[in-house]
Amino acid sequence: MLSTQYYFSNAVGSVLFVPDSFVYLHFTGEPMSSIELRALYVHAANLLARYSLGGILADHRAMPAAFAKEDQDWLLTHWLPQTVSPPPPPVFYAVLPNSHPARRLHTDDVLQDLRRHVTVGVFEELEHAADWLKRQESGPVAD
């Protein structure tokens, strides 16, 4: 179990803070609206900047559907470039994908686009994802 602090939530999900480590995005499973989805990511960016964090753990396992194409495009072409601007420090993005193929956001194409901005790790277990992010604090570790 992760030790987290509450930062923001809405019907779509929560933005939680793992002190001195990373941002934890957790989806509720409720239907997603574009406004609420984007609000989660805007608050995640604020938390990353406020505490100079270098990691995001996005738990998509409860997502009811993949992001709408417009939201996916916004995430990859607007949010990521503004949130993760060069030069480093690098940002590490651990994801727990939804197991249902139709609800899976992280297809090979999306992962490839994400990797242009962040170092991505895909995990099946929350603990493995959290451990990977925490290890990045002391320097990247290959998996």
- The domain spans of the chain are 5-136
Task: Kindly report the pTM of this predicted structure.
Answer: 0.80
| pLDDT score of 13 | 97
Using the predicted structure, report yes or no on whether residue 143 has a pLDDT greater than 60. Answer: no
| pLDDT score of 20 | 86
Q: From the centroid of its chain, how far is CA 54?
A: 11
Using the predicted structure, report yes or no on whether residue 141 has a pLDDT greater than 70. Answer: no
**Tens-place pLDDT, residues 74-96:** 999 999 989 887 666 688 999 88
Instruction: Domain 5-136: give its CATH code.
Output: 3.30.750
Q: In this structure, what token pair is assigned to residue 10?
A: 């809405």
| pLDDT score of 114 | 84
| pLDDT score of 112 | 83
Helix (H, G, I), strand (E, B) or coil at 55: strand
| pLDDT score of 116 | 85
| pLDDT score of 66 | 86
pLDDT range class, residue 34, cuts 50, 70, 90: very high
The dihedral through the CA atoms of 75, 61, 127, 43 has a sign that is positive
Average pLDDT of the segment spanning 19-25: 93
Q: From the centroid of its chain, how far is CA 56?
A: 5
Higher model confidence: residue 86 or residue 9?
9
Is residue 39 a contact partner of residue 67, using CB atoms and an 8 Å limit?
no
Average pLDDT of the segment spanning 101-117: 75
80: left (phi over 0), alpha (psi -120 to 50) or beta: alpha
